[in-house]
Chain A
Amino acid sequence: MTKVTIKKYLTYDRISGLFLIILSIIGLLHIVFSGEWGRNIGLGAKFMPQIYFFIILITGILLLIRKGEGEKPQGILIFVNIRSVLLFTGVGILYFLFILKVGLVISTVIYALSLYSLLTINPLKNWKQIVISSTIVTMIVWVLFDIVIHIVLPIPLLF
């Protein structure tokens, strides 16, 4: 892990990112704890503000952790490229939902099968590529599962 001094790390962008994260947390807490939000016909009054604050949170995180021009990657970053971080996070969330939907046993079997098929059909050398590709294949299987069998999702996607 590279040693990072606070002065070097706190650029304008990152301060903006931090501010946006704080704003989004305050906003989301306000929505959760500020009391009655009226009748919930359809999606309700708090639906869109929650989405907006969530997007602000993501943009704040992006500004906080992305690499600036000419900078070396900072120590708190696990991956060099922010796209990898997002991909892993996004795929991880999807895989969690998949497990909830079809159960751990079936998901493990499908995951193992996709991993095996990818290794044999298209040998990938980079372990990150292997994990991402097999997880995406598993997700595709999930989508087919959903369309063919029409199973209702176990948890609501919208809160």
Chain B
Amino acid sequence: MTARSQDKNSGRFFRGRNAAEKRFLAGTISPLVLYLAFWTIFPLLWGITLAFFDYSPRQTGGFLGFGEGNPFVGLQHFENMLNFSADAPLEVQQFHIGIRVTLLFAALVVPLNLLITVPLAFLIESVNGKAKGIFRTIFFLPVLAPSVGVAIMWGFIFHPQRGLLNAIIGQFTGRLVGTAWLRDSSLTVWGIPVALFAIIIAYLWQDMGYNLVIFIAALQGIPQSIKDAARIDGANWLQMFVRIIIPLLMPTILLAAILTMISAFQVFDIVQVMTEGGPDDQTQVLLLNIYSYAFRYQKMGWAAAVSIVMFLVVLSISFVQTRLLRSEWEY
């Protein structure tokens, strides 16, 4: 069945059915449609609309709260975002910081995640017997942990005075170590804040289980005959991984890269608990920025406009990733 004929059929969804069937179908589908409309489509439209108003829930407006105290401002929020001068309003400066930090975070998280999970999945898959299941479970367990709990745990590890990391370093150096990994804005590596690295470590620790499971499933789908043929041709372990496995995993890597990137753009809870965007806004990711302006400072119009920009950025990067990582391989 082609996609075109599927469309035609869905257009004739109720055609050729008797009245009782139509009532049954309408009765069973309508609640789901309403649910979807109310909880997904309506908030989406609401959010888009807010972006064109200077909307604050503290102000009284007209119909649905728009107008009067919450005036229509058109594209003003988006124009403000393009103000790169030093005297730009704080929310604009923080938006620029948020974009920069989020892009940096995603740019580091996606490759690091893939660099860890693809070889790890290959290694786990090559283990025989019960050990394979044990490894899979161990690496997937952090995914099941609540993010806030993960953030608290890593916050403890990085704590300057009571932290595990400083305690371990102190054991080796024989003196008290009080490095504030999450709070000292002067700590950087290659110009990247150490606090951001600390968050990336916590994030990867929790997140990589997802990709690991995806890659293990994909590896199991690669026909044994291809691997056998490579071995007969004299391919060693590394050649097998680089020349055979990686190209065949490319569609899965693309999917995992996009999912990881989207998830990285949506990072919030770990940052909120571990650093609250500090030190000196070095970990102020965009979603934290949106949350602060929407719910703390109640500038919902501005926050909605930033959300739209974030959506467009994610969409654009996903599109570019799809183009760049497109695979010609089929098996």
A in complex with B? no
- B residues with CB within 8 A of A: none
- A residues with CB within 8 A of B: none
